[in-house]
Amino acid sequence: MTLMREKTILELYEAMYTSRYLEKIVTQLWEKGNIYGEMHLGIGEEAIIAGVLSHLIPGDAISTDHRSTPPFVMRGVDIESLLLEFLGHPKGLCSGLGGHMHLFCKELLLTSSGIVGSSGPSAVGFALATKYQKTKNIAVAFFGEGSMNQGMLLESLNLASSLNLPVLFICKDNNWAITTRSNEVTGGVLLDRVRGFGIEAREVDGSDCMAVWQAVETAIPRLRKRNPAPYFIQASCTHNEGHFLGDPLLRFHRSPKKELGAVTGPLTKSVLHYKGGRLDKRISSVSNVLALIAKARAQLSFSNDPIRRLEKTQTHLKDQFAQIKLKVEKKINSISERVLNLVQEEASL
C-alpha cells in the first residue's frame, strides 16, 4: 500500500471543495427559481469521485448517473459551461438541452444519464473500444446501489467479466432509493452477487477520500494490464440533501410544523375514512411512513461529510486547506457572477 503524499491529499481536497462550493451556488440558483425541475446534488459523494478520478489518465472514459456535477467538475469540464447548461442556456455544455442529468463531453469521454443503471452499458461500450484499440485506458461506471437491481447493470457485469474488459464499477451506496430503504427491497449481499460473475469486489468507506484512493490504487493495475479484468467497489456514503433538493422526507425535519401541518389532516382523514382497508392496516401504513421520516434524519448529519472528515484527520494542513477554500470560492463566485450577468443581459434585450 502506497503512502499518500501531502500533494495528493491537497489535490483531493481541492477537487472535493470545488465540487461542493459549485453545488452550493447551484443550490442558491435553484432556490431562487433560476434552475427549473429536480436538482440532484453530489454532496456527500465527493470523496468517492475524487478518490477514483485522481487515478485516471487521458483517454480513460467515465459514465455516470444523474449526480453528474462532481465527476464533470473534477474531470476538468469548464464550470461556466456547466452552469449555463443547468440554466438551460444555448451556450451550455450541451446547448442547454441536457440539464444536469443528461450531459456529454466528447473531448473528455464523459457521459451521464438519468436512466437508472445505464452507466453500466455505457462503460462496457467504452471499455470494449479500448480493447479493440489496444490501449491501456479504462472505463469507469458510477451508479447507486439501487441500480444493482436493474437488469442492464447485471448484464454489464456479466459482459465485462466474460469479455475481460477494463471496467471499474463504482457503487455509491447510501442505502436509499429515493424514499425507499434499499436493504428492504434488495435480496442477498451485493458483493456476493458481483463475485458470482467472477469479478473481484470490495467494500470501502466512501466518506474517506484517502480510503477510496487506496482502494482504487489497488484496482488500477488489474485494469491496465495486458489481459485486464473488471473490478467492483462498493462505497458507502450519505446524501446530506436527500435524493434531490427539496427532498420531502428531509423537509419534515427542517420545517416540522409546516410539513406536518400540511399532511396531518389528509392522513387522519384517510385513516378514519369509512371505505378502504382494515383500520389496523391503515394505522400500520401511517406508522411505516412516520418511521421512514425518522430514518431520514440521519441524512441531515454531517458526521460522514467527506470534506469535514479530511479536515479533522489532517489538521496539520489546516492553513493549506484555508488557502484552497479562498482560491476556489473566488474563482467560482467570479464565474457565477459572469454567467448571471450574461443571462440577465440577454433577458433584458
The string of pLDDT tens digits covering residues 150-207 is: 999 999 999 999 999 999 999 999 999 988 899 999 999 999 999 999 999 999 999 9
Q: Output 144 or 264, whichever has higher pLDDT.
A: 144
Question: Does 236 share its domain with 253?
Answer: no
End position of a domain, from candidates 299, 320, 339? 299
Which residue would you say has higher pLDDT here, 274 or 74?
74
**How do residues 258-306 score in pLDDT, each as one tens digit?**
877 777 778 778 888 878 788 888 888 888 888 888 888 888 777 889 9
* CA-CA-CA-CA torsion sign (238, 244, 246, 249): negative
Specify whether 179 is located in the same domain as 323. yes
Q: Residues of the chain with pLDDT > 70: what percent?
A: 99
Residues 53 and 176 in one domain: yes
Domain check: are 48 and 122 in the same one?
A: yes
Burial class (CB in 10 A: 0-12, 13-18, 19+), 249: buried
Q: Are residues 132 and 281 in the same domain?
A: no
35 and 70 both lie in a single domain: yes
Domain containing residue 321: CATH number: 3.40.50.970
Considering the domain boundaries, does residue 81 fall inside one?
A: yes
Average pLDDT over the chain, rounded to an integer: 93
Residues 273 and 141 in one domain: no
In a domain, residue 1? The reply is no
d(CA 294, CA 239): 16
Is there a domain that residue 51 lies in?
yes
* Residue 209 falls inside a structural domain: yes
* Domain containing residue 270: 249-299
Q: Do 220 and 136 share a structural domain?
A: yes
Shared domain for 281 and 209, answered yes or no, is no
How many independent structural domains does the chain possess? 2
DSSP secondary structure, 202-256, as one string: EEEETT-HHHHHHHHHHHHHHHHSSS---EEEEEE---TT-SSTT-HHHHHHHSH
120 with 255, same domain?
A: no
CA–CA separation, 311 vs 317, rounded Å?
8
Per-residue pLDDT of 17-58, as tens digits, reads 999 999 999 999 999 999 988 999 999 999 999 999 999 999
Residue located via cell numbers 464550470: 79
**Same structural domain, 81 and 100:** yes
For residues 304 and 47, the answer to whether their CB atoms sit within 8 Å is: no
For residues 72 and 190, membership in a common domain is answered with yes
